[in-house]
């Protein structure tokens, strides 16, 4: 994708809220912001190393429960870099690739049965995803207080849900 080094800023953005370990970050990428960005440990740990060398984060060895963890904290330098990035213009996104739309385009009007099964499987997939997102929303944000408490998280979940609903609605018009 050649996204010109966005990962370090995203890690800083996550660390701004609270100090985290590499593993904690991995979980955040999988769960919290997984709908909009992902990173594996093979990217996270090297990136943390670079951030440490650049002085954007600091490291404290901590014993959590019975386990040892390397907890990374954002530094002033890191905060400055993050703030600067936050204000920089967002580069034109590099196309949201959509294999389903392409197949629809290729199939066109011929072979209606095959098109139908293609559409149905896409529908099922999005409905299942919608369901899981809604369940997460119910569990995480069952009270207005919880929404106010973690408003950013609520927003991305809300958008993810509505995005699924939107695609489902469009598919149903076919």
Q: Judged by CB, which is closer to a copy of itself: 59, or 125?
A: 125
Q: Considering CB distances under 5 to 8 angstroms, the limit depending on partner class, which of a copy of itself, DNA, none binds residue 24?
A: DNA
Catalogue the E-assigned strands of the chain: 20-21, 57-64, 67-74
- Give residues 40-79 in contact with DNA (rule: CB under 7 A): 40-43, 45-46, 48-49, 64-70
Strand 57-64 relative to strand 20-21, pairing: unpaired
- How far does Cα 33 stand from its chain's mean position? 3
Of the candidate spans 93-101, 102-110, 122-130, 140-148, the one that interacts with DNA by CB under 7 A turns out to be 93-101
The encoded tokens of residue 162 equal: 């509505």
DSSP 83-125: HHHHHSPPP-------HHHHHHHHHTTS-HHHHHHHHHHHHHH
Q: Name the segment binding a copy of itself (CB under 8 A); options: 54-62, 64-72, 86-94, 134-142.
A: 86-94
In the list 19, 22, 23, 37, the residue contacting a copy of itself (rule: CB under 8 A) is: 37
* Adjacency order of strands within the sheet including 20-21: 20-21, 67-74, 57-64
For residue 108, state whether it binds DNA (rule: CB under 7 A): no
Q: Is 69 helix (H, G, I), strand (E, B) or coil?
A: strand
Q: Give the residue from 16, 157, 32, 30 showing the smallest Cα distance to 82.
A: 16
Counting contacts by CB under 7 A, is residue 144 touching DNA?
A: no
Residue from 66, 87, 112, 139 binding a copy of itself (CB under 8 A): 87
Structure tokens at 71: 């907890």
CB of 162 to DNA, least distance (A): 23
Q: Which residues contribute to the site for a copy of itself (CB under 8 A)?
A: 1, 3, 6, 10, 13-14, 16, 33-38, 82, 86-87, 89-91, 93-109, 114, 118, 121-122, 125, 151-153, 155-156, 159, 162-163, 166, 170, 174
């Amino acid at each position: 994708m050649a996204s010109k080094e966005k990962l370090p800023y995203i890690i800083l953005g996550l660390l701004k809220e609270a100090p985290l370990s590499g593993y904690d970050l991995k979980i955040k990428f999988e769960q919290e912001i997984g709908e909009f960005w992902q990173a594996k440990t093979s990217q996270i740990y090297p990136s943390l190393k670079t951030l440490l060398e650049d002085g954007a984060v600091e490291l404290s060895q901590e014993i959590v429960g019975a386990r040892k963890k390397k907890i990374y904290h954002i530094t002033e330098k890191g905060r400055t870099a993050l703030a600067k990035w936050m204000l920089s213009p967002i580069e034109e996104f590099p196309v949201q690739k959509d294999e389903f739309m392409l197949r629809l385009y290729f199939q066109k009007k011929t072979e209606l049965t095959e098109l139908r099964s293609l559409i149905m499987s896409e529908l099922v997939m999005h409905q299942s995803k919608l369901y899981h997102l809604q369940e997460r929303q119910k569990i995480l944000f069952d009270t207005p207080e919880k929404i106010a408490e973690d408003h950013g998280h609520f927003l991305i979940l809300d958008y993810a849900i509505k995005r699924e609903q939107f695609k489902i609605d469009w598919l149903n018009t076919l």
